Amino acid sequence: MNKALAPILLAVAGAAHADYTVDMKSINESGQGASIGTVTITANPAGGVTFTPKLKGLPAGQRGFHVHENASCGPAEKAGKVVAGEAAGAHWDPDKSGKHGSPKGPGHRGDLPALEVAADGSATKAVTAPRLKLADLSRKSLMIHGGGDNYSDSPKPSGGGGDRIACGLIRAKSGP
């Protein structure tokens, strides 16, 4: 191999597997609002990817938590109505399963374990998605829904999470 090319290839390979820190912002039909904290995404030594939230200002309880297909958190029109975070697209589904499922089973690979929000509106409990790899996540978005997640398309589609209330863009860390 060309010795001049080796450092470039190593840098590119490292960037493809870098950790991510996602700045999560509240969203509404007008666009993005204030930051509510961050979610750090790292490779889990036992396999998969771990999402570690440091969030505040969320409604207490279980919240749907997903990787969405587009790196956008903006509003967009759906069925004639402007919807918060709709530009993020659907749950990431590279296998074209067409169904919502659990983080461990068949279904969208963007289906993550539910986010647990404490009574004070904070979320700090890490969750692991065993079917994901860090290299899968670049140029996607991370979404928090207003409702919980039943890991099914019944009785409501996409786990029944409902409105999109917070979103962040997944990008590699910059700097040291």
Mean pLDDT for each consecutive 10-residue tract of the chain (176 residues)?
44 55 97 96 96 98 96 95 96 88 84 96 97 94 90 64 93 60
Nearest residue to 20 via CA among 6, 36, 38: 38
What is the pLDDT, as a whole number, of residue 105? 81
DSSP-derived 3-state class of residue 9: helix
Number of structural domains in the chain: 1
Give a yes or no: residue 142 inside a domain. yes
Nearest residue to 110 via CA among 127, 125, 131, 87: 131
Which residue has tokens 């396999």?
47
Here the tokens at position 36 are 């509510």
Give a yes or no: residue 161 inside a domain. yes
Q: Phi, psi (5° rounding) for residue 43?
A: -70, 135
Q: Cβ(23)–Cβ(168) under 8 Å? A: yes
CATH number for 54: 2.60.40.200
User: How many whole angstroms separate alpha carbon 117 and alpha carbon 125?
Assistant: 8
User: How many whole angstroms separate alpha carbon 147 and alpha carbon 36?
Assistant: 17
Domain that residue 32 falls in: 19-170
Give a yes or no: residue 2 inside a domain. no
Give a yes or no: residue 1 inside a domain. no
What is the pLDDT, as a whole number, of residue 54? 98
Give a yes or no: residue 40 inside a domain. yes
Nearest residue to 165 via CA among 22, 21, 34: 34
DSSP secondary structure string, 85-114?
TGGG-SB--TT---S---TTSSS-TTB-PP
Give a yes or no: residue 12 inside a domain. no
Give a yes or no: residue 158 inside a domain. yes
Give a yes or no: residue 33 inside a domain. yes
Q: Cβ(25)–Cβ(166) under 8 Å? A: yes
What is the pLDDT, as a whole number, of residue 162? 82
Give pTM, 2 decimals: 0.85
What is the pLDDT, as a whole number, of residue 113? 94
